[in-house]
């Protein structure tokens, strides 16, 4: 294992052939396009993107479930398309938001069976199962038939299944989808602990929760419409926007001041305005913080009172807006109306 | 390493299949399923035969039909059982993709899933035959049974059926809709073409070659011969062949279909990966 890369992709692409009704011509859908990424061993890597961005498709390619239509990918040192049998013993995968598993088997039986498929000694496997269930707070449900579990608990069981085989590279597709706040927090904590216990472990997760990506991931790739738009640490991604300083200012009524007038100031890059009760809320991008003085001058000239002032820290959401030109929510509703 | 991979795939699949198959909360229902169902199937056939033949159960045709029908239970159990595992895991339990990325041999796993059906099927076959002997005078005489031939044929046939199941499993994998239908349709077709309940001579001449090409035809013939020797020879279809010749044909066809099945499965497997069908669910 001299290779320090856990995941490496080059020009990876995937096109789905869609079969509509017979009259309709066959359409093609580009789900992934020219994806080139590298993930180091020991990294927690996040794929962030709206619905339909291609996150699950990428995971399916990387876990050998789906062949790419162009490019190549290596996971744990082996080619996912040509050498799936070398990749599979080293990985595992969990999809959130679905309840898989054999409902008539107990939690423990479900997990034990999978451990046996990976060739783990039975006794060790049982100890591990108990320890992991303990960690996610499910030990008391060990002998419950999995059909009797709530959706959230089933998902936790599934997550335990992923960790159980101690993979070199673990893929989690929306692991916290559909979980309540507490359970999501448990899962995130669990992920971090698992990674901390062994620096060689690598984890790739997808999410469309900005905060989750920001809080958890060492590096994040922002993906939209099958393309990777940016890939860096969350702080470096936000740093890109940091050059501009953003303020949110609430004021009394405007007395004729327009966003255009505001933007005509040399150090004001962008001014956006929304009405609020008894006044207005400005969102201003300034070249540097000192430009705030000019803005206040302008307000004073028009006899506008400043009621509230906030310096906004950029979020990954802002990074997304900057890259795509729209918010992730807008992108998703657009995707839905198109599809 | 390779044998241990195969072995754990098979062993765990058989374990899982057995838990699924025997997981009846109510033992009474389980008994109904595994005893009453095959018996009532046989009863329908017997009644139909009785009406058509005017109540004459003393012809060679009656044991021919009765035994053919009884052993045909294995086709529905083993062949359909193996292919059904794909539908079950993909649609119902949503675990097929997790099986796929596990370090196991999927074909061996699917064959293992058929073991439980083989066991319950064997019980059904046994009960059906015992009922036939006790109540319907199926002329089965302990001393005349060719046990060696019987067990060799039975085992060879079950392996053959499991491999045919693998072929169907491959096709099932590439079909995203109505996939449950494939196993049933094939089992139905084989029922007609393999001389299960009537000799092939009854079929129009141009259809018979299909029957001659099916290993099940020779399998059922040999099972009948091993159990009720002379009765089975009353029909012209295969009368010219000795037991050993038929066994040879059965072996040859089984190997042929076995190779084809494995080849088809591999091909379908790569098609399924190509098209992204391994985790496809239709949400029926
Ligand atoms: N089997 C398939 N056949 C055809 N098109 C597909 C298939 N699977 C996915 N797609 C399409 O490919 C695109 C990417 O889908 P994918 O599931 O990878 O997105 P995603 O980023 O995981 O989205 P989500 O956040 O909703 O899970 C979508 O437009 C989707 O409709
Ligand atoms: Mg997805």
- Residue whose pair of structure tokens reads 């807008």 in the numeric block: A330
- Rounded to the nearest integer, the mean pLDDT of chain A is 90
Query: Residue B264 above 90 pLDDT?
Result: yes
Kindly state the average pLDDT of the residues B12-40: 83
Query: What does the pLDDT read at residue B250?
Result: 97
Whether B97 has its CB under 8 Å from any CB of chain A: the answer is yes
Query: What does the pLDDT read at residue A311?
Result: 85
Ligand 1, atom 8, lies closest to the CA of A57
Q: How far is the CA of A97 from the centre of ligand 2 (A)?
A: 9
Query: What does the pLDDT read at residue A335?
Result: 65
Whether B266 has its CB under 8 Å from any CB of chain A: the answer is no
Kindly state the average pLDDT of the residues A21-39: 85
Token couple for B124: 């059904």
Q: Where are the domains of chain B?
A: 2-275
Choose one of A19, A29, A213 to mutate for the ligand 1 pocket test, by most ligand atoms within 8 angstroms of C-beta: A29
Kindly state the average pLDDT of the residues B104-118: 95
Domain over A5-239 is classified CATH 3.90.870.40: no
Q: Where are the domains of chain A?
A: 5-239, 245-313
Query: Residue A117 above 90 pLDDT?
Result: yes
User: Nearest by CB to A100, which of B8, B94, B278?
Assistant: B94
Query: What does the pLDDT read at residue A337?
Result: 63
Which has the higher per-residue pLDDT, B251 or B24? B251
Q: How far is the CA of B220 from the centre of ligand 2 (A)?
A: 50
Residue B113: pLDDT band by 50, 70, 90 thresholds? very high
CB pairs under 8 A between A and B: 77
Query: Residue A197 above 70 pLDDT?
Result: yes
Q: How far is the CA of A52 from the centre of ligand 2 (A)?
A: 7
Percent of chain B surpassing pLDDT 70:
96
Query: Residue B254 above 90 pLDDT?
Result: yes
Residue A339: pLDDT band by 50, 70, 90 thresholds? very low
Interface test with B, best of A92, A101, A116, A168 (most B CBs within 10 A): A116
Tell me the pLDDT tens digit for each residue of A214-261: 989 999 999 999 999 999 999 999 887 767 788 899 999 888 888 888
Query: What does the pLDDT read at residue A1?
Result: 45
Name the residue among B82, B104, B114, B96 with its Cα closest to residue B4.
B104
DSSP helix/strand/coil, A16: strand
Ligand 1 lining (C-beta closer than 6 Å): A 16, 18, 29, 31, 49, 51-57, 208; B 276
Which has the higher per-residue pLDDT, A240 or A197? A197
Specify the DSSP element, H or E, that contains A75: strand A70-75
Note whether A117 contacts B9, CB cutoff 8 Å: yes
Q: How far is the CA of B71 from the centre of ligand 1 (A)?
A: 46
Ligand 1, atom 26, lies closest to the CA of A51
User: Nearest by CB to B104, which of A93, A104, A117?
Assistant: A117
Please answer whether residues B82 and B166 qualify as being in contact, where contact means their C-beta atoms are separated by less than 8 angstroms: yes
Query: What does the pLDDT read at residue B163?
Result: 97
Name the residue among B12, B163, B29, B26 with its Cα closest to residue B89.
B12
Note whether B93 contacts A103, CB cutoff 8 Å: yes
Say which residues have a Cβ less than 8 Å from residue A181's Cβ, sequence separation at least 6: none
Note whether B101 contacts A88, CB cutoff 8 Å: yes
CA distance A252 to B240: 106
Atom of ligand 1 nearest to the CA of A208: 25
Kindly state the average pLDDT of the residues B56-74: 90
Domain A245-313, CATH class in plain words = alpha beta
Query: Residue B284 above 60 pLDDT?
Result: no
């Amino acid at each position: 294992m001299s290779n320090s890369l856990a995941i490496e992709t080059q020009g990876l692409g995937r096109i789905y052939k869609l079969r509509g009704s017979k009259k309709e011509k066959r359409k093609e859908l580009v789900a992934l396009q020219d994806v080139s990424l590298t993930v180091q061993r020991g990294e927690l890597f996040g794929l962030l993107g709206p619905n339909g961005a291609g996150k699950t498709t990428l995971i399916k390619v990387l876990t050998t479930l789906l062949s790419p239509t162009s490019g190549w990918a290596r996971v744990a040192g082996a080619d996912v398309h040509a050498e799936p049998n070398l990749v599979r013993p080293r990985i595992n995968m969990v999809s959130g938001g679905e309840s898989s598993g054999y409902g008539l088997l107990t939690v423990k039986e479900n997990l034990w069976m999978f451990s046996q498929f990976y060739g783990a000694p039975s006794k060790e496997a049982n100890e591990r199962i108990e320890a992991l269930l303990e960690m996610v707070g499910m030990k008391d449900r060990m002998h419950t038939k999995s059909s009797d579990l709530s959706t959230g608990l089933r998902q936790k069981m599934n997550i335990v299944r992923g960790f159980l085989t101690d993979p070199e590279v673990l893929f989690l597709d929306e692991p916290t989808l559909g979980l309540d706040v507490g359970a999501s927090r448990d899962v995130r904590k669990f992920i971090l602990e698992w990674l901390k216990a062994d620096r060689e472990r690598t984890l790739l997760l997808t999410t469309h929760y900005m905060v989750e990506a920001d809080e958890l991931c060492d590096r994040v790739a922002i993906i939209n419409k099958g393309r990777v738009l940016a890939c860096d640490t969350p702080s470096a991604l936000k740093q890109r926007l940091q050059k501009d300083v953003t303020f949110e200012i609430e004021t009394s009524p405007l007395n004729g001041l327009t966003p255009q007038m505001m933007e005509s100031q040399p150090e004001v890059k962008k001014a956006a305005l929304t009405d609020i009760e008894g006044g207005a809320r400005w969102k201003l991008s300034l070249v540097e913080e000192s430009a705030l003085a000019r803005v206040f001058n302008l307000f004073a000239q028009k006899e506008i009172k400043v009621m509230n002032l906030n310096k906004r820290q950029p979020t990954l959401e802002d990074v997304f807006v900057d890259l795509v030109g729209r918010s992730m929510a807008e992108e998703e509703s657009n995707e839905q109306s198109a599809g | 390493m390779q044998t241990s991979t195969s072995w754990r795939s098979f062993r765990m699949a058989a374990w899982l299949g057995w838990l699924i198959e025997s997981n009846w909360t109510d033992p009474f229902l389980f008994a109904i399923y595994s005893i009453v169902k095959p018996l009532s199937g046989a009863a329908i056939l017997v009644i139909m035969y009785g009406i058509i033949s005017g109540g004459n159960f003393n012809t060679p045709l009656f044991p021919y039909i009765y035994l053919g029908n009884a052993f045909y239970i294995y086709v529905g159990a083993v062949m359909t059982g193996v292919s059904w595992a794909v539908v079950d895991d993909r649609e119902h339990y949503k675990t097929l993709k997790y099986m796929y990325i596990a370090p196991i041999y999927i074909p061996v796993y699917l064959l293992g899933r058929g073991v439980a059906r083989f066991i319950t099927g064997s019980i059904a076959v046994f009960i059906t035959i015992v009922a036939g002997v006790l109540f319907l005078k199926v002329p089965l005489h302990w001393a005349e049974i060719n046990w060696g031939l019987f067990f060799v044929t039975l085992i060879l046939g079950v392996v053959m059926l499991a491999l045919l199941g693998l072929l169907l499993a491959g096709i099932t994998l590439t079909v995203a809709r109505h996939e449950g239908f494939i196993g049933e349709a094939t089992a139905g077709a084989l029922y007609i073409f393999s001389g299960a309940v009537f000799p092939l001579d009854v079929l129009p001449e141009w259809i018979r070659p299909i029957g001659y090409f099916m290993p099940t035809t020779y399998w059922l013939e040999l099972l009948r011969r091993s159990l009720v020797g002379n009765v089975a020879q009353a029909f012209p279809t295969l009368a010219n062949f000795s037991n050993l010749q038929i066994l040879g044909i059965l072996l040859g066809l089984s190997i042929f279909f076995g190779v084809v099945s494995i080849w088809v499965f591999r091909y379908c497997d790569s098609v399924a990966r190509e098209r992204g069908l391994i985790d496809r669910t239709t949400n029926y």
